[in-house]
Amino acid sequence: MSNYSRRQFLTKATAGAALLSAVPGISSYANPIVPYQGKKLRVALIGLGYYAEHRLAPGLSESKYCELAGIVTGTPEKAAKWKAKYNIPDKNIYNYQNFDQIADNKDIDVIYAVLPNSMHKEFVIRGAKAGKHCITEKPMALNAKEAEEMIAACKKANVRLFVGYRLHFEPFTMELKRMVKDKELGKIKVIETADGFKAGDPNQWRLKKALAGGGAMFDVGVYAIQGARYGSGEDPIAVTAQEYKTDPVKFKEVDETIFWQMEFPSGVVSNSVTTYASGTERLYVSGENGWVELRPAYGYGPLAGKTHKGPMNIPHTNHQALQFDGMGQAILENKEITATGEEGLKDMKIIDAIYRAVASGRKEKIV
């Protein structure tokens, strides 16, 4: 039996909490054994699309540190539906025009921008000016300059800024990061990351540059970038990249498929791909003494993994609930976490360099 046997997870505590608490690298805020009975942060979701409805709202219902308290939508029918389902008072329901009035609402602590990428900057800055802590979905912005402006606005308002990097709180991912940090694989030699899916509706906002900013790279390429970064334990210093389109009509405005290679200070080079043409989802890290592979690696779960020692028998979790717990505790207890605006800025600088490399055909430094 491998060293990831479920016997590792058995403790004298209750079964559910024990499983998570015994996963190496999981912080105590992830479903702590002692039930949390303190203050809950009250979150308003901005944008009530699929992800907000089917992932974030259920995650908030399971979170120990956060709860759904308000909504922002431009669709009256959605407002009525959410009001009835979640018992949201009228005073906590806003549209995009009167959103700034949220500054006077003491019953909202955090705003979460679940909007097309081009709107992230606007609503984070408006949220910061309203005195609310801010979470934005990934990618953080359309480019590094926008990300810097968002960080500056939140610092000026003395509020926290986070990016919806749910995998920073997910057990398989945290275990892989721990293995790399503790050098269990030895010196890292090979990193391969891939994330993509077949984009359907040709009229969806993700294929419109004015709303999305970019295509597969902006959407799921961020996960492959992140995977290479925590697979190496380093930030890249240079990148080369190549773009390909099998359907230039459908993907006229945004990228369909991009391959890229990132160079890290240690000398290791990662090889990655993101695409809207087909399904792919993998993170593979190999070192002198062993390897680890997550496949599937980035989706909502269940994820799966194995190492040179055997399968990673880690239980499935609600990623969004863990994300809200981690961010909630960071705010309430002034703790540092990795899913911050500064982390998002690093990814935007890398994405900027990838697009420069596609255009130039040359190696581009990440600055």
What would the pLDDT profile of 309-363 be if each residue is shown by its tens digit?
999 999 999 999 999 999 999 999 999 999 999 999 999 999 999 999 999 999 9
> Span 80-107, mean pLDDT?
98
Give the pLDDT score at 37.
83
Share of the chain above pLDDT 70, in %: 91
* Confidence category of residue 168, pLDDT binned at 50, 70, 90: very high
Residues noted as catalytic: 138, 223
- State the DSSP code for 35: P
Whether 272 and 193 have beta carbons less than 8 Å apart is answered as: yes
What mean pLDDT value characterizes the chain? 92
The sheet carrying 41-46 orders its strands as: 93-94, 66-72, 41-46, 110-113, 133-136, 161-163
* Confidence category of residue 297, pLDDT binned at 50, 70, 90: very high
pLDDT(24) > 80? no
Domains and CATH numbers, the chain: 36-166 (3.40.50.720), 187-287+339-365 (3.30.360.10)
pLDDT(126) > 70? yes
Of the candidate ranges 11-25, 102-116, 278-292, the one whose mean pLDDT is the lowest: 11-25
Say what the pTM is: 0.91
Whether 195 and 155 have beta carbons less than 8 Å apart is answered as: no
Exposure letters 54-65 (e unless 16+ CB within 10 A, then b): ebbbebbeebbb
pLDDT(30) > 90? no
The token pair that represents 160 in the structure block: 């926290």
Summarize pLDDT for 233-260 with one digit per residue, the tens: 999 999 999 999 999 999 999 999 999 9
Residues 6+ apart with CB under 8 A from 336: 330
From 151, 152, 111, select the one nearest 131 (Cα to Cα): 111
> Span 161-179, mean pLDDT?
98
* Confidence category of residue 23, pLDDT binned at 50, 70, 90: very low
* Confidence category of residue 33, pLDDT binned at 50, 70, 90: low
CA–CA separation, 210 and 212 (whole Å): 6
Residues 6+ apart with CB under 8 A from 362: 240
The token pair that represents 303 in the structure block: 């994820």
Give the pLDDT score at 35.
78
pLDDT(269) > 90? yes
Name the CA dihedral angle for 43, 122, 137, 222, rounded to a multiple of 10 degrees.
Answer: -160
